Amino acid sequence: MQPKRPALGRGLDSLIAMDDAPARGTSAINDIEISRISPNPDQPRRLFDEEALEELSRSIRELGIIQPLSLRKTGPDTYQIIAGERRYRAAMMAGLTTVPAYIRTANDTELTEMALIENIQREDLNAIEIALTFKKLIDQYNLTQERLSERIGKKRTTIANFLRLLRLPAEVQLGLRDRRIDMGHARALLSIDDPKFQLRLYNEIVKQGLSVRRVEELAKKYQQAALEGKKPENDNRRFSNNDYDILKDHLSQRFSTPVKLTCDASGKGKISFSFRDEAELERLIAIFDTAKQ
C-alpha cells in the first residue's frame, strides 16, 4: 500500500515556498534564456493587469528579478513555468534575455495544483478563475471534491462553494471575475433558483452598489415571490431596514432628540425630529444652521 500523498496545502514551504526556495529538484538558481521558456497552458490566472505589469517591468529594469521563477523541464533545452508567469511577462517587456529560475520536478497534475496554490496564496486569482481550476482538476483527473480537498489542503466546503459559482448566469460570472461584485453578493444570488431573478438582482447590485446585507434581504424576497408564483415587487432602496435603524439611532444621538425615519420601496421617505418646546426647537435650528456651513 502506497503512503498517502501529503496535501499540497500543507508544508508549502517545502513544495512551492512562495517562489523563495526550491521544491523537488535542484536547489541552484539557474539563468535560463527567456526564448526557451513557455507559459503553462493550464495556468489558473487568465487576467494580467497591463499597468501593473509595466510597473513591475520598470522595477525589473532597475533592480532585476528578486524572486526566481519556478520552471519544469519539458525537453533538452525547453522549460515550462510552474510559478512566476507575471515576472516572465514583465521580464520580456523589460527586454531581458535570461531570467533566474529554479528547475523543479512536477507532473501535469502537480503542475496545475502548484500553480493554483501559488496564485491563491498571493491572492492573484479571482473567484471564477479558482472555480474553473477546481473544476478542471476534478474533471481532468477524475477527483472527488474530498480528494481534491486532500490534495490542495483546502476544506471540501470551500471547494464546493467555489464550484457553485459556476451555476450562476454567464453575465454574473463575468461580473464576479471582473470584481464588479464579490463573493458575498454571489452567495446571496445563489440562494435564488431562477436565473432571470439572479440577473435582475445582479443588475441592481451593479447599478446601485447594493451592500451584501441588502442583497441577502432582496434575495429572500425574490425567492419567496418565486415560490408563490408572483413577480417580485420593485424595491430600489440601496439600504436595508437594519441600515435605516442604525441611521435613525445615529441621528437621535447626534441631535439628542427622538428621530423618525420612513422609506418606501422606491427609496423615497422622510425624517422627522421631535422637540419638547421652543427652546429645544431653537437648539435644533442652531445645529441645522451649523450643518449648512
Q: Strand 78-83 to strand 98-104: parallel, antiparallel, or no bridges (unpaired)?
A: unpaired
**Can you spell out the DSSP letters for 158-178?**
HHHHHHHGGGS-HHHHHHHHT
Catalytic member of 55, 85, 110, 278: 85
* Cell of residue 253, nine digits: 444621538
3-state helix, strand, coil in the chain (%, to 5): 55, 15, 35
Q: Is 85 a catalytic residue?
A: yes
Q: What DSSP character marks residue 232? A: P
CA distance 69 to 30: 10
**Contacts of 80-84 spanning 24+ positions with Cβ under 8 A:** 80/37, 80/38, 80/39, 80/40, 80/111, 81/37, 81/38, 81/39, 81/40, 81/43, 82/16, 82/40, 82/106, 82/111, 82/114, 82/115, 82/118, 83/16, 83/19, 83/114, 83/115, 83/118, 84/19
Positions marked active-site:
85
